[in-house]
Amino acid sequence: MTGRSRWSTFILLSPWIVTFIAFSLYPVGYSLYLSFTKYDPLAGLAPKFIGLSNYFEIINDPKFWQAVKNTVIFVVGTIPVTTAIAIVLAVFLNKKIKFRSFFRASYFVPVMTSIVVISTIFTYIYSPYGLLNSLLGLFGIQGQNWLLSTQFALPAIMAMMVWASFGYYTVLFLAGLQNIPEEIYESAAIDGANSIQTFFRVTLPLLRPMLIFALVINTIRSFQIFSQIFVMTQGGPLGSTRTIVYYLYNMGFQKFRMGYASGIAYLLFILILVFSVIQMKTLSYEEQFYG
């Protein structure tokens, strides 16, 4: 590549490079710096370097650990259910059935809808006189004040998120299924494999790369849950739905402890990284073991 070509390439890429530095790289680096400082933007003072004090305080903060517990429960409780539903639906929609295009589009509609809109709708559904309690009343079941119950508030949000997100992963798995050659299924049928054996011994192993991708993406999105909590419960009742990102928001943009909030952000990054690596290593090991 000549010098002129290199300059042309750089000029063409410069808008993206400037945008990446200004809106991604710089904020990440500055927030890391802030995590070692005490900084209140309303005080009109420069950040004061305090070393690892923010991290020590976070580690000893019971509200932070409650947020970690709630977030992990959300992640562990929603990802397997969402993944299982998405895989089953993808296998079903990959067959030649009537109205297949209609079903594909209808399952994807919640994904295209704003999560704020979905959260608002479900807030009314979960209200004491909402649709859910009305349906339960038809069967003689006592309704609940779902979002004001420390026992049911988080599971209610988890159920909503499974409904709102499984369509996205269904499309991913459907794309993976369509890349599996039909000849493999024909060979399995000739060998006498039934539908269940074909699913576990042919479909799932060949779908593994897409499964790893979907699990990692779902893990990252689930750990970052915020809008639903902000709209529906504000972290209540009694902190039972307080998640890590909502606690970060509370400390950074309500109490204006920007250094403390930045420390939470980096601990969240480490937590997501650990979970993602475990998932990839586990599935990669199973692929090597069974492959």
pLDDT tens-place string over residues 39-48:
998 888 889 9
Q: Which CATH number fits domain 53-290: 1.10.3720.10, 3.40.309.10, 3.40.630.30, 3.40.640.10?
A: 1.10.3720.10
The lowest-confidence range among 47-56, 108-117, 235-244 is: 108-117
When pLDDT is averaged across residues 28-37 and rounded to a whole number, the result is 94
Per-residue confidence (pLDDT) for residue 284, from 0 to 100: 67
Tell me the two tokens of residue 60.
């000893």
> How far, in Å, CA of 275 to CA of 281, rounded?
10
Task: Quote the percentage of the chain above a pLDDT of 70.
Answer: 96
Task: Quote the percentage of the chain above a pLDDT of 90.
Answer: 58
Number of C-beta neighbours around residue 82 at 10 A: 25
Tell me the two tokens of residue 229.
């909590």
Per-residue confidence (pLDDT) for residue 289, from 0 to 100: 43
- Assign 1 a pLDDT band (cuts: 50, 70, 90): low
Verdict on whether the full-model pTM lies above 0.85: yes
> How far, in Å, CA of 275 to CA of 283, rounded?
12
Q: Which of 139-143, 210-214, 263-267 has the highest mean pLDDT?
A: 263-267
Q: What are the C-alpha distances in Å from 199 to residues 144, 150, 195?
A: 39, 40, 6
Per-residue confidence (pLDDT) for residue 4, from 0 to 100: 64
Q: What is the pLDDT of residues 90-113, one digit of tens each?
A: 988 888 777 777 777 788 888 889
Separation of CA 14 from chain center: 32
Does residue 100 or residue 233 have the better pLDDT? 233
The closest of 84, 160, 95 to 121, measured between CA atoms, is 160
When pLDDT is averaged across residues 5-21 and rounded to a whole number, the result is 83
Residue 255: pLDDT over 90: yes
Does residue 96 or residue 32 have the better pLDDT? 32
The lowest-confidence range among 93-102, 124-133, 175-184, 229-238 is: 93-102
Residue 131: beta bridge partners? none
Query: Mean pLDDT score of the chain, rounded to an integer?
Result: 89
Per-residue confidence (pLDDT) for residue 142, from 0 to 100: 86
Residues 6+ apart with CB under 8 A from 55: 35, 263, 267
> How far, in Å, CA of 78 to CA of 47, rounded?
39
**Secondary structure of the chain in HEC code, one letter for each residue:** CCHHHHHHHHHHHHHHHHHHHHHHHHHHHHHHHHCCEECCCCCCCCCEECCCHHHHHHHCCHHHHHHHHHHHHHHHHHHHHHHHHHHHHHHHHCCCCCCHHHHHHHHHHHHHCCHHHHHHHHHHHCCCCCHHHHHHHHCCCCCCCHHHCCCCHHHHHHHHHHHHHHHHHHHHHHHHHCCCCHHHHHHHHHCCCCHHHHHHHHHHHHCHHHHHHHHHHHHHHHHCCCHHHHHHCCCCCCCCCCCHHHHHHHHHHHCCCHHHHHHHHHHHHHHHHHHHHHHHHHHHHHHHHHC
Tell me the two tokens of residue 33.
């710096």
Per-residue confidence (pLDDT) for residue 282, from 0 to 100: 78
- Assign 285 a pLDDT band (cuts: 50, 70, 90): low
Q: Which residue carries 């070393």 as its tokens?
A: 51
Per-residue confidence (pLDDT) for residue 52, from 0 to 100: 95
Per-residue confidence (pLDDT) for residue 290, from 0 to 100: 45
Residue 123: pLDDT over 70: yes
